[in-house]
Amino acid sequence: MKAAPRVEPGSLLAFDALPRPLDSAGRPRRVGIEVEFTGLSERRAAGVLAAHLGGRVEEEDPFAFHLLDSALGRISVERDLRHIHPHRPYRHPAPWLRPPASTLVAASLGPIIPRELVTEPLPPEDLPSVDAALARLQAAGAGGDRATLAGSLGLHLNIVPPDPAPATILALLRAYLLLEDELRGEILPSGLARLYAPEPFPAAYRRHVLDPAYAPDLPALCDDYLAANPTRKRGLDMLPLFLELLGERVAGRITDKVKPRPVLHYRLPVARLGVPGWSLAGDWNRWVRVERLAADTEALAARTARALQR
């Protein structure tokens, strides 16, 4: 059993509760966190986390480290560039790029390629402890605010859905579509982050999904999504979930790097680790806003009707 996470004084910011906190088996739902940052090496970041959370650090390669058996379970810190991890077979874009060439590429791109921290799926009550760990990284020199010249600094939430029923997934998708413009306005007011952000869902797809007569089974929901969105570059990326649930029906129709995972991949937010006092709470609470709308049948129907009248 892992030890209880250590929470720093002042890190207990308000994280809203999910309206449906349990999955279909009665287990607490979980969320995995991905945070990109600059200014601190992978090795140094893993060491800072180990000092704070305990556990042991294992080196996969010079640009990928894994903290095991910590108070927050497994945490990976790596350079977010597939080209420099040639031993990983999963759709590697340049399998011919091997050490020492891959090491030289990584070193030359070090100032502009962000590092990525990835947690295992955690109960939402652990999110303040993730905040505290990120504050330790910030104090050690980690930074970044929304984007670099090379791209946006991602903050991705991988949320286990309440259940895999098509009606549940459809309600969540509808709620996100209804709130997407509002969320983008809050998260991406201007600048490079807006330029690099995932594109909004196409208007025709939005109208199709919001039609009250639309009641697909899971394969039809998946097929319609893929026809309009054969890309992971959406604020709510459904490809990992559909790939997990429907396997080969999805795999042959996408070319992006996508792994099957039983999660809703909320990838619109951007990381701001270089901003003092920044917390995961704001973006987590925005996601909870989506779930609350999805869970409120009357509010969802009313908001859908208003949206379709425009």
Neighbour-count burial for 275-288, b at 16+ CB within 10 Å, e otherwise: eeebbbbbbbebbb
CA distance 120 to 52: 17
Instruction: Please tell me whether residues 58 and 125 are part of one structural domain.
Output: yes
Residue 303 lies in a domain: yes
Residues with pLDDT less than 50, the chain: 1-12, 85, 88, 91-92, 96-97, 101-102, 106
pLDDT value, residue 213: 98
Element containing residue 118 per DSSP (H, E) = strand 115-119
Task: Point out the domain boundary residue: 110, 143, 176.
Answer: 143
Domain containing residue 41: 28-143
Using alpha carbons only, how large is the chain's radius of gyration in Å?
A: 20
Instruction: Please tell me whether residues 121 and 175 are part of one structural domain.
Output: no
Residue 195 lies in a domain: yes
pLDDT value, residue 217: 98
Instruction: Please tell me whether residues 124 and 188 are part of one structural domain.
Output: no
Task: Point out the domain boundary residue: 87, 116, 143.
Answer: 143
Residue 69 lies in a domain: yes
Instruction: Please tell me whether residues 35 and 131 are part of one structural domain.
Output: yes
Instruction: Please tell me whether residues 36 and 139 are part of one structural domain.
Output: yes
Closest by CA position to 20, among listed 128, 175, 150: 175
Q: What is the distance of C-alpha 191 from the center of its chain? A: 21
pLDDT value, residue 190: 85
Residue 151 lies in a domain: no
Specify the number of domains making up the chain: 2
Residue 63 lies in a domain: yes
pLDDT value, residue 80: 73
Residue 49 lies in a domain: yes
Reduced to 3 states (helix: H, G, I; strand: E, B; else coil), residue 33 is: strand
Contacts of 105 (CB under 8 A, 6+ apart): 83, 84, 97
pLDDT tens track for 258-276: 999 999 999 999 999 999 9
Instruction: Please tell me whether residues 138 and 165 are part of one structural domain.
Output: no
Instruction: Please tell me whether residues 39 and 88 are part of one structural domain.
Output: yes
Give the other-Cβ count within 10 Å of 3's Cβ. Answer: 12
Instruction: Please tell me whether residues 165 and 307 are part of one structural domain.
Output: yes
Structure tokens at 207: 């109208």
pLDDT value, residue 234: 98
pLDDT value, residue 95: 52
pLDDT value, residue 7: 39
Element containing residue 187 per DSSP (H, E) = helix 166-187
Instruction: Please tell me whether residues 270 and 205 are part of one structural domain.
Output: yes
Task: Point out the domain boundary residue: 143, 175, 191.
Answer: 143
DSSP for residue 143: B
pTM for this model (two decimals): 0.89
